[in-house]
Copies of this chain bind each other. A is one copy, B any other.
Amino acid sequence: MDKSFDVVIIGGSAAGLSTANSVLNWYPGKKVALIRDVPYTVVPCGIPYIYGILGSVAQNKIPDEGFIKKGMQIIEKKVIHVDRKNKTVIFQDESKVSYDKLVLALGSRPNIPSMEAITFANVFPIKKDPVFLEDLNQALEKSRNVVIVGGGFIGVEMAEQVRLKEDRHVTLVESLPHCLMLSCEEEAGILVEKELEAMGINVKTNTTVEALVGKDRVEEVVLSTGERLKADVVIFGVGCSPNTELAERIGLDADRTWGIHVDEYMRTSAEDIFACGDCCTKISAIYGEPVAVRLASVAALEGMIAGSNLYRLTRKNRGVVGSFATKVGTISVGSAGYTEKACRDQRINYYKGEMTAPDRHPGSLPGCTPQTKVKLLFDASTDQIIGGHIIGGIQVADMVNILALAIQQGITADALATVQYATHPLLTGSPLVYQVMWAAENALVS
């Protein structure tokens, strides 16, 4: 192992890998080390699919080869300290490496409710550690009754995948009135619940877990409704919090809710130390308020920005939009920016436009999702788009990305309505109904 690097990155998930890639793109020849305490990096958003269509953790690997070929060195060790004065990273085995620039890509940790039996071996708060994920895989293999707590993206996707084994009873418990409500419109959550129920999953919304019951293992989950569910495995997907531990220990500005403080260049409060991804603070690209959006796509972007800024301030982070998409059963849903609920909660004066139409033309063509719907929200004082929500087929994520770009560009309803777009019978809705642009037009004329 080399002892001295130009750039040391702590953390090997999306933010860390993206930083490494970016440094090697922008500053070829720099000596770059990426430190992780796991044998390999998993695709973070692919985790639910390990337990269904992928079948194993190894199938859900981000390959290192491309990064290594570019010149990145991987150090598989646990960091215990950073000596800022001597610019060295100290490992648990007492070895050290020195850096010129340090990047913290420490990620997040799953939120773990404080309740009895939460540490029992058959309770799994989702972590990105392959060993942990393989343990869960083995526990699930033997399970007949699975309770998943949290109806956000992870919970919903886990429920769908775990249920692919037909003799397994799966219950999804969500405290809010509907699934996915923190990022999607209520109607999308309702549709997703219907898809899950059609698969035989027991969906309990407006419900919380009161207790986990069992001796060495959890055997029953007690709900706020009084119902008791048998459980061989209990999975928690109830959000995550920034991993600020190391940063706090070495005296960087950080707080546990929002993360390690970074500026628009991804610099922390300490010279030559940057941070990116789930571990650091984020602001909304729309109104600039702090936000808790922790996504691999945001992490990858922040890594790109951090990496390019290490030796020259190249570009600014313009903030987070919050762009999501998922596929559950026969539908896909996606979202960028604010929901109607968020607008109401934050007293944003908005207006909206909707368009529902088939996503092929004519609608009899193969692959058609007849009720493909786009809803757009515009700020009433600026006419700029602040939110977009899509229910449809396999193209939903790319359609969301049209909206994500529009939101970041501050495009008005009129400009979005009169954007030129490609259509094709086998690939999109008709030009007379292409949902993104006609939803904008409908916002203007309704």
A313-333: CB near B (< 8 Å → 1, else 0) gives 001011011111111000010
A44: nearest residue on chain B (CB-CB)?
Answer: B431
* CA–CA, A439 and B96, complex, Å: 37
B304 touches A46 (CB 8 A): no
Chain A: interface residue total (CB-CB under 8 A):
85
What chain B residues lie within 8 Å of A436 (beta carbons)? 401
Question: Taking the complex as formed, is A404 at the interface, i.e. its CB lies under 8 A from any CB of chain B?
Answer: yes
**Within A280-304, which residues are at the interface with B (CB < 8 Å)?**
285, 295-301, 304
What chain B residues lie within 8 Å of A25 (beta carbons)? 441-442, 445
Question: Taking the complex as formed, is A135 at the interface, i.e. its CB lies under 8 A from any CB of chain B?
Answer: no
Q: Smallest CB–CB gap between A153 and chain B, Å? A: 9
* CA–CA, A298 and B367, complex, Å: 24
B43 touches A361 (CB 8 A): yes
B432 touches A300 (CB 8 A): yes
B432 touches A419 (CB 8 A): no
B428 touches A404 (CB 8 A): no
Question: Taking the complex as formed, is A365 at the interface, i.e. its CB lies under 8 A from any CB of chain B?
Answer: yes
Question: Taking the complex as formed, is A5 at the interface, i.e. its CB lies under 8 A from any CB of chain B?
Answer: no
Across the interface, A430 reaches (CB within 8 A) one of B43, B336, B419, namely: B43
A297 touches B43 (CB 8 A): no
**Within A133-155, which residues are at the interface with B (CB < 8 Å)?**
none
A327 touches B418 (CB 8 A): no
What chain B residues lie within 8 Å of A59 (beta carbons)? 362, 364
A301 touches B420 (CB 8 A): yes
A401 touches B421 (CB 8 A): yes
What chain B residues lie within 8 Å of A411 (beta carbons)? 405, 409
Copies assembled: 2
What chain B residues lie within 8 Å of A332 (beta carbons)? 426-427
* CA–CA, A419 and B304, complex, Å: 11
* CA–CA, A61 and B362, complex, Å: 7
What chain B residues lie within 8 Å of A430 (beta carbons)? 43, 62, 296, 300
Q: A45-B424, A53-B365, A362-B43 are known contacts. Are A431 and B336 too (CB-CB below 8 A)? A: no
A404 touches B422 (CB 8 A): yes
**Within A46-94, which residues are at the interface with B (CB < 8 Å)?**
46, 49, 53-54, 59-62
Question: Taking the complex as formed, is A366 at the interface, i.e. its CB lies under 8 A from any CB of chain B?
Answer: yes
**Within A311-360, which residues are at the interface with B (CB < 8 Å)?**
315, 317-318, 320-327, 332, 334-336
Question: Taking the complex as formed, is A397 at the interface, i.e. its CB lies under 8 A from any CB of chain B?
Answer: yes
Question: Taking the complex as formed, is A14 at the interface, i.e. its CB lies under 8 A from any CB of chain B?
Answer: yes
Q: List 28 A-B contacts (CB under 8 A).
A: A14-B431, A18-B432, A22-B441, A43-B425, A45-B361, A53-B366, A61-B362, A296-B430, A299-B431, A321-B420, A323-B421, A324-B424, A326-B424, A326-B427, A327-B427, A332-B426, A336-B422, A394-B395, A395-B427, A397-B423, A397-B424, A397-B427, A398-B402, A398-B428, A401-B422, A404-B421, A405-B409, A405-B411
For the A-B complex with A18-B432, A46-B361, A327-B426 known, give 7 more contacts whose Cβ atoms are closer than 8 Å.
Answer: A43-B425, A53-B366, A61-B362, A62-B430, A297-B431, A297-B434, A326-B426
